């Protein structure tokens, strides 16, 4: 994912801004100078806190919102400048799934999935086989004649996914699609989206406030804060070397790698006199991510290492881990040099007496 306009991109945001009028006059900027390219066939996550602007950004892709400045293009077509006929055609190529499902309670599973096809004027003889194929794809063939009230949350979301695929879109938008689901159901829905991405080559753009969702499904990620993209790149690169404090905050919540409170309370920026220990964060990534480097370092350098917290994650096929340790301050420089020779990143967090 690049932060400029790429002609082959499935979706581009080119210097996009969005202002909303305020009561009493004036306006408030929801988005400012957003430039981002989403490549065909990728799964890109846009993560941000409530009010950061991510939903507004997503709604611009299918024309539900228009930019105040800049341009949003889908497959090279300017969404904001599209007339009514062109916008209908763009929307046929952009499916959308919602946080709260938005199913019609009076229609069965099959009838809900068929709705976009009926609205678009698809001949009746083509609707039934396509609907049956989609219902089977999302694993609801035994529930095809059930009504939404008879379905679980995960099943409802599967109906929403099937409905979003009905018009055979090239792009699928996901608006917090798993935030109303329990963790186990969330995982099955994410696996389904991953299968759809692989099987159909569909470009998926999803927004979320959960870094775990990005970790589990997205190949690329953009972090949005106060209407600005503060960091973007491949998910692996962003997870293993976050640059912005907002990204770092999100990552600490998903990995759980934070200092124990009794250590954090003692932590100092400068080394105290006498016996002191340096507290450091180690990010394990790359070819040596699963090697027993701490054991080797302790043995080779004769250092006593105290492990304070840690977690191992997986981004796609590649592992990465975060470990918080303390070592005797006199040997800390040697420890950091050893780790960096083995391609691991280190960060000094402070010192304890």
Nearest-angstrom CA–CA distance, 103 and 160? 7
Query: How would you classify the pairing of strands 228-234 and 318-328?
Result: unpaired
Residue 315 pLDDT: 81
Burial class (CB in 10 A: 0-12, 13-18, 19+), 3: middle
Helix orientation angle between 293-301 and 332-341, rounded to the nearest 10 degrees: 130
Instruction: Specify the pLDDT at position 319.
Output: 80
pLDDT of res. 3: 38
Phi/psi of residue 352, each to 5°? -125, 150
pLDDT at 112: 97
pLDDT of residue 5: 39
Task: Tell me which residues of the chain have a pLDDT lower than 70.
Answer: 1-8, 253-256, 286-288, 316
pLDDT at position 210, please?
Answer: 86
Angle between the N-to-C axes of helices 124-137 and 109-119, in degrees from 0 to 180, rounded to the nearest 10: 130
CATH annotation of 256-352: 3.30.70.260
d(CA 345, CA 45): 25
In this prediction, residue 258 carries a pLDDT of: 79
What is the tally of helices (H) and strands (E) in the chain? 12, 14
Assign domain 11-93+169-253 to its CATH superfamily.
Answer: P-loop containing nucleotide triphosphate hydrolases (3.40.50.300)
CB atoms under 10 Å from CB of 128, counted, come to 12
Secondary structure letter of residue 268 according to DSSP: B
For the chain, the domains span 11-93+169-253, 256-352
Cα separation, 116 vs 133, in Å, equals: 15
Q: DSSP string spanning 339-351?
A: HHHTT-EEEEEEE
The contacts of residue 255 (CB under 8 Å, 6+ apart) are 311, 313, 322
Lay out the sheet containing 11-21: strands in order across. Answer: 27-38, 11-21, 69-74, 77-78
Per residue in 50-95, pLDDT (tens digit) is 889 999 999 999 999 999 999 999 988 999 999 998 998 898 899 9
């Amino acid at each position: 994912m690049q932060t400029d306009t790429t002609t082959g991109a499935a979706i581009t945001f080119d210097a996009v801004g969005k202002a909303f009028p305020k009561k009493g006059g004036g306006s408030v900027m929801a988005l400012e100078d957003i430039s981002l390219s989403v490549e065909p066939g990728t799964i890109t996550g846009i993560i941000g806190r409530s009010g950061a602007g991510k939903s507004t950004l997503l709604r611009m892709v299918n024309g539900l919102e228009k930019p105040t400045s800049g341009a949003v293009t889908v497959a090279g077509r300017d969404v904001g400048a599209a007339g009514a006929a062109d916008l209908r055609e763009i929307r046929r190529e952009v499916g959308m799934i919602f946080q709260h499902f938005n199913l019609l309670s009076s229609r069965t599973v099959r009838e809900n999935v068929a709705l976009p096809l009926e609205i678009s004027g698809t001949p009746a003889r083509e609707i039934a086989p396509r609907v049956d194929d989609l219902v089977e794809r999302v694993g609801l063939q035994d529930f095809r004649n059930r009504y939404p009230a008879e379905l679980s949350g995960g099943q409802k979301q599967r109906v929403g996914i099937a409905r979003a695929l009905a018009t055979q879109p090239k792009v699928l938008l996901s608006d917090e699609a798993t935030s109303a689901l329990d963790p186990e159901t969330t995982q099955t829905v994410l696996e389904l989206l991953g299968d759809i991405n692989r099987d159909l080559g569909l470009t998926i753009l999803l927004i979320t406030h959960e870094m775990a969702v990005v970790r589990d499904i997205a190949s690329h990620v953009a972090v949005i804060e106060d209407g600005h993209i503060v960091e973007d790149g491949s998910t692996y690169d962003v997870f293993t070397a976050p640059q912005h404090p907002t990204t770092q905050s999100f990552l600490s919540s998903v990995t759980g790698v934070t200092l124990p409170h009794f250590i954090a309370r003692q932590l100092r920026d400068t080394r105290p006199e006498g016996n002191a220990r340096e507290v450091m964060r180690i990010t394990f990534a790359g070819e040596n991510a699963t090697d027993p480097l701490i054991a080797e370092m302790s043995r080779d350098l004769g250092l006593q290492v105290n492990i304070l917290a840690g977690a191992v994650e997986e981004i796609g096929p590649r592992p990465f881990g975060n470990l918080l340790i303390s070592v005797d301050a006199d040997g800390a420089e040697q420890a950091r040099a050893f780790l960096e020779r083995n391609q691991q990143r280190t960060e000094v967090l402070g010192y304890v007496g």
